[in-house]
Structure 1
Amino acid sequence: GAPAAGEKVPITTSSDAARASYLEARGLVERLRAQEAKAVFRKAVDADPEFALAWLGLAGAQNSAKEFFAALDRAVALAPKATPAERLMIAAAQAGAQGDNATQTRKLQKLTALYPSDERALVLLGNVHFAAQRYADAIAAYERAVEIAPEFSQTYNQLGYSYRFLGRFEEAEKAFTEYTRVLPDDPNPWDSLAELQMKRGRFDDAIANYRKALAVRPDFFNSNLGIATCLDLKGRHAEARAELDAMIARAQDDGQRRAGLFARTVSWAYEGDLTAARAEMGRQAAIAEKNQDALGRSGDEAAMGNLALAAGDLDAAARHFARALELAESAPAVSDAVKANQARFAMFNRAKVALARRDLDAAKKEQQALATAAEQAGNPFQVRFAHEIAGRIALAEKRWDDALAELGQANQLDPYVRYRMAQAHAGKGDRAKARELADGARNDNTLVNLNLALVRQEKDEI
C-alpha cells in the first residue's frame, strides 16, 4: 500500500553495517564533504555489493566522469532489487546524467508524491528545478522541506543560492545565515555566505569568511577557489595563483588538482594572458589523459576550444571542438544517450566557430539542428544554447530586436549572454541600457568563471 504519513524513502540493504556506512556517507555529502564520503560509500558497497542506493551515493561523490558513470551503471543494474521509491531516485539520476531534465523532473515529482514528508526527496526535486534555472519552483520545494525538517542543513544552502540567482540578496543572506546557525562548526555555511558577499562586490568580507571556513577545515578547497576569485576580481592575479598553488600542493586526488589547475587557467584569463591560460589547460588535460578519463578529456578539449576562440585562433578552436566530440564518442562504457548529449554540445561548439568565421549559413544550420535536438531531448540547458546562437546570428545581421528576443531566452547566468544583450542595445542606440548591462556582465563576480574572465577582456566599445 501507500507509505504512511511522515514516512521517509526506504533504504534497501541486507547488511546493518552497509546501512550504517551509507547513512554516515550521506551525512558527509549533505555537508559537502564528498571527498570523505567516497571511502565511506565504498565501505557500504563492500559490505553489501547489491546495495543500489549506496552505488548511487558513490556515483554522486565522484569527481571524475569515468568513476561517476561506473558507479551509476551499477546502481542502474541493481535498481530492480530495490523499492519503487529507490528505483525512481536511480532513474532520475540516470536521466540527469543523460541531459534529460524533463524525465528527471517527472521521476522526482513521482517520488515526492509518494513520500511528501521526506525532506531529502523534496530537496532532490528542488535541485532539479534549480539546475534548470526554475528558481521559483526550486524555492517552493525547499520551503516545504524546511517546514518538515527545520534542522536539515542542506535546504538552507540551496534556498540561499536560489534567492541569490533571482537577485533577492537579502533573502539569500537570511538563508545562509540560518545555515551557519544550523551548522556552525562546518565550513560550507561560511563558504556560501562568502560567495554571496563576493557576488555583491564585498571582496574583503568574502575573503574573511572564506578564511573562517578554512579555519574550520583546512582541506575545504572550495574556499581556496573563492579567495583566488576574489583576488582576481581585485586585480591581484599573482596572489590568486599563489593561493591556488597552495591548494594544489595539498590536493588529495586528481579531481581536486584539476579544479585547482582550471582556476589557474581562469586567473590567467583574468590577467589577459591567454597563452598561459591555454598552457594551464593542457596541464589539466594531461591528468585526465593519464587516468584514461575520456569524458573528462572531452570537457578539457571543449574548454581549450573556447580559449582558442577567445584568442582568435579559429583553426585550433575547430580542432579542439572536433577532438572533444571524438573523445566522447569513443569513450568506453558510455551510453548512447550520453553520447547524444555530447553530440548536441558539438553543434553548439561548431556554431560558435562558424560565427567567428562570419559563416552565418553554417551557423544557422548548426543552430537549427541544435534547437530541434535539444527540444526532443528535453534538455533546457541546451535549448538556451540554441537561443544564444540564434541571438548571436541576429546580432551579426544587425537585427537588434530579434537578437534581444533570442538572447533573453539564453542562459541569463552567463555574463557573455548579458554582454551580447548590451551590444544589441548599443546597436539600437540605447547607450544607457547597453552600459547598464555591460557593467552588470563585467561585475558578475561569480566563482571560477571563465566567461566572466573573458568578458572583462572585451575592448569596451559600448
Structure 2
Amino acid sequence: MSEGIKDRPELSEAAAQSRASVLRSRAESYIALSRHDAAIADLTESIALAPDNARAWRLRGESHRVVERYEAALEDFDEALKLEPDSAYALGSRGQTYAATGRLEEAMADFEHALTLSPDSLWILEAKADVLVDLDRLDEALGEHAKIISLNEDLAYSWVARGDLYQRMHLYAEAIGDYTKALSVEPEHVRALSRRGEALRMVDRYEDALADLSRALELDPDNDRAYGSRGAVLSELGDDEAALTDLNRAIELDSGYIWAYRVRGEILQELERHEEAVSDFSQALHLEFGD
C-alpha cells in the first residue's frame, strides 16, 4: 500500500511528480486486476502529490464507480472535468454514474457531450442506449444500437444487446435474427444461445428452443435463466417431470427467481399438486410484492 505524503516531506517537486506518476501507473494495473481499493489508495496519494493531474481524478472516479461509491465517483469526475472539460472518457464515466443513481437526464447530457467529442466510442453509445431504454425511448435506443453495429459488425455482444431490446419490445423474429448474427460471429456465445432459445419459445418453436437452451447449459451448467426457460419449454412439450427438474435447479441457483416459481406453480397446479402450487405462488407474491 502507498505511503502517505505526510511521511515524505523531503520530496522535491520533481520527485513528487515522479512518484505520483508511478502511483498512477500502478493504480491502472490494480484496476485491471479489479483491486479497486488498492487503486484508490494509490490514486489518493498521487492526487495529494500532484492535484492538477486529471487522469488521477478520472481513474479514482472510475474505481469509486465500479465499487458503487457513486457520490465519491461524481466528485472525482467533476474534478477531472474541471481540469479537462472535453474529456470524453470522464464525461462517459460520469454519465454511467448518473445513470446508476437514477439521474437519467444528467446521464444523457454527459453522453451527448461525450459523443460530440468521440462519436464512434462504442461503450458510450452502449451506455446511452441503456439510458434511453430506462427512459422508455425504445425506438431511439434501437437507433443507437444500429450505430453500434454499423461501426463493427463482428462484435457478438452488440448483436446480443440489440436482440435483447427487440425481445423486450416483443419483436421476437427480429430478436432471433440478431441472436443468430451473434452466433455466426461467436458460435458458443452462451447468452445468445440462451436468449435465442427464450425468443424461440415465445414463437412456439419449442424443439429449436430446446436445442439452444440445452447447448447453453452444456456451456454454462449454472445458468439459472436457461434452466428456467428450458423448464418452460419442456412443459410445453409435455415432459412435466423434466420441466420440474429444470425449474427446481433454476430456483436452487437463484432463490429469488420469481418467474421460475410462477411457472413451477402452474405445472404443479396442472398436476393437481395444489399444496405445492400454493407454496410456489405464495413465494412469487412474497418476492414481487412483499406479501
TM-score, normalised by the number of residues in structure 2: 0.66
One of 74, 86, 103 as aligned partner of 2:38: 74
Match of 2:151 among 182, 189, 193: 182
Q: Secondary structure at the match of 2:86?
A: coil
CA distance in 1, matches of 2:60, 2:232: 40
User: 1:316-331, aligned counterparts within 5 Å?
Assistant: none
Alignment of 1:37-436 (within 5 A): 51-59=26-34, 71-80=35-44, 82-83=46-47, 85-89=54-58, 91-93=60-62, 95-96=64-65, 99-236=68-205, 239-250=208-219, 257-258=221-222, 261-267=223-229, 270=232, 276-282=246-252, 284=253, 300=254, 303=256, 356=286
SS of the equivalent of 2:187 reads coil
Whether contact under 8 Å (1:52, 1:76) holds in the other structure is yes
Give me the whole-angstrom Cα distance separating, in 1, the residues matched to 2:204 and 2:124: 34
Contact 2:24 2:42 in 1 (8 A): no
SS in 2 for 1:198: helix
Q: Which residue of 2 aligns with 1:433?
A: none
Q: 1:276-295, CA deviations, whole angstroms, 9 ceiling, x for partnerless residues?
A: 3232353x5xxxxxxxxxxx
- The total of aligned residue pairs comes to 245
Amino acid at match of 1:276: D
The letter for the 1-side match of 2:27 is A
Q: CA deviation at 1:98?
A: 5.3
Output the amino acid matched with 2:92: V
Give the distance between the partners of 2:91 and 2:225, measured in 1 at CA.
33
CA distance in 2, matches of 1:306, 1:193: 23
Structure 1 residue 97: Cα displacement: 5.4
TM-superposition CA deviations, 1:308-355 (whole Å, max 9, x none): 799698xx99xxxxxxxxxxxxxxxxxxxxxxxxxxxxxxxxxx98x8
Residue 37 of structure 1 corresponds to which residue in structure 2? none
How well do the aligned residues superpose, as a CA RMSD in angstroms? 3.9
Task: State the SS of the aligned residue for 2:256.
Answer: helix
- How many Å apart are 1:52 and its aligned residue? 1.0
The amino acid that maps onto 2:109 is A
TM-score by length of 1: 0.44
2:247 partner amino acid: A
The whole-number CA distance in structure 1 between the counterparts of 2:82 and 2:188 is 39
Pair 114,240 (structure 1): closer, same or farther in 2 beyond 3 Å: farther
- Change beyond 3 A, Cα 1:86–1:244: farther
What is the CA distance between 1:149 and its match in structure 2?
0.9
1:215 shift after superposition: 1.4
What's the CA shift for 1:245? 3.0
- Measured after TM superposition, the shift of residue 269 of structure 1 is 6.6
* 1:246 positional shift: 1.8
> In 1, distance between residues paired with 2:171 and 2:210?
20
User: Max radius of gyration: which structure?
Assistant: 2
User: Aligned equivalents of 2:232 and 2:98: distance in 1?
Assistant: 31
Task: Say if 2:27 and 2:40, in contact at 8 Å, map to a contact too.
Answer: yes
Equivalent position SS for 2:136: coil
Sort the Cα spacing of 1:224 and 1:115 in 2 relative to 1 into closer, same or farther, 3 A. farther
Give the 3 Å change call, closer, same or farther, for CA 303–94 of structure 1 in structure 2: farther
Could you say if the C-alpha distance between residues 136 and 198 of structure 1 is closer, same or farther in structure 2, counting changes exceeding 3 Å?
same
Relative distance call for 1:121 and 1:248 in structure 2 (3 A) is farther
Query: Is this contact kept in 1: 2:154–2:185, CA < 8 A?
Result: yes
What letter matches 1:52 in structure 2? A
Equivalent-residue separation in structure 1 for 2:133 and 2:33 (angstroms): 29
Give identity over the alignment, percent. 18
Contact 1:52/1:82, CA 8 A, preserved across alignment: no
The answer to whether the Cα contact below 8 Å between 2:65 and 2:73 also exists between their aligned partners in 1 is yes
Unmatched segments (≥5 aa) in structure 1: 1-11, 15-47, 60-70, 252-256, 285-299, 318-351, 357-387, 397-462
Report how far residue 194 of structure 1 moved. Answer: 2.0
- Structure 2 unaligned segments of length 5 or more: list them: 1-19, 236-242, 266-274
Change (3 A) 1:274 1:126: farther
For CA contacts below 8 A with separation 6 or more, give which structure has more relative contact order: 1
